[in-house]
């Protein structure tokens, strides 16, 4: 079974750093891009960016460029989403998803809730 398993919920203070993870299994991890998607409380889905696990090439949405970093460790089939300085507005669910040939997101990870509060 193709599966993406994300790390657990996090509670952080503004200004702190954070890295969350997304581990793939059940398929060849380097064969598909991985994307990150943000969903703020009660809001819709926002595409943040994607990474090619085979060469670590990344592409970010202009809305998130410079604020987050997407990386990968293909030796352990894991992608990461990282912040160097969190803001309260980063409070959201973050999902990773495998990108298929036709830019379809499937499957999705179970989501990681990030809460940033002083």
Binding site for other proteins (CB under 8 A): 35, 37, 44-47, 50, 59, 61-62, 95, 99-100, 102-106, 108-111
- CA separation (Å) from 78 to 6, 20, 21? 9, 10, 7
The shares of helix, strand and coil residues in the chain, as percent rounded to the nearest 5, are: 10, 55, 40
Specify which residues 97 forms β-bridges with. 35, 108
**Smallest distance, other proteins to C-beta of residue 63, A:** 9
* Minimum distance of other proteins from residue 19's CB (angstroms): 21
* 3 state SS of 89: helix
Least Å distance, CB 14 to other proteins, is 26
Q: With respect to other proteins, which residue has the nearer C-beta, 15 or 45?
A: 45
Is the Cβ of residue 49 or residue 86 nearer to other proteins in the bound state?
49
| CB 61 to other proteins: min, Å | 6
Nearest to 107 by CA among 37, 21, 99: 99
């Amino acid at each position: 079974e193709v599966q993406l398993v994300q790390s657990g919920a996090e509670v952080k203070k503004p200004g702190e750093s954070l890295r969350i993870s997304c581990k793939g299994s059940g398929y060849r991890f380097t064969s598909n891009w991985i994307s990150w998607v943000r969903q703020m409380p009660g809001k819709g889905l926002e595409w943040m960016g994607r990474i090619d696990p085979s060469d670590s090439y990344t592409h970010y949405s202009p809305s998130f460029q410079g604020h987050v970093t997407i990386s990968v460790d293909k030796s352990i089939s894991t992608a990461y989403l990282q912040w160097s300085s969190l803001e309260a507005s980063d409070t959201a669910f973050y999902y990773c998803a495998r990108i298929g040939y036709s830019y379809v997101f499937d499957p999705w990870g179970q989501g990681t809730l990030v809460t940033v509060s002083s």
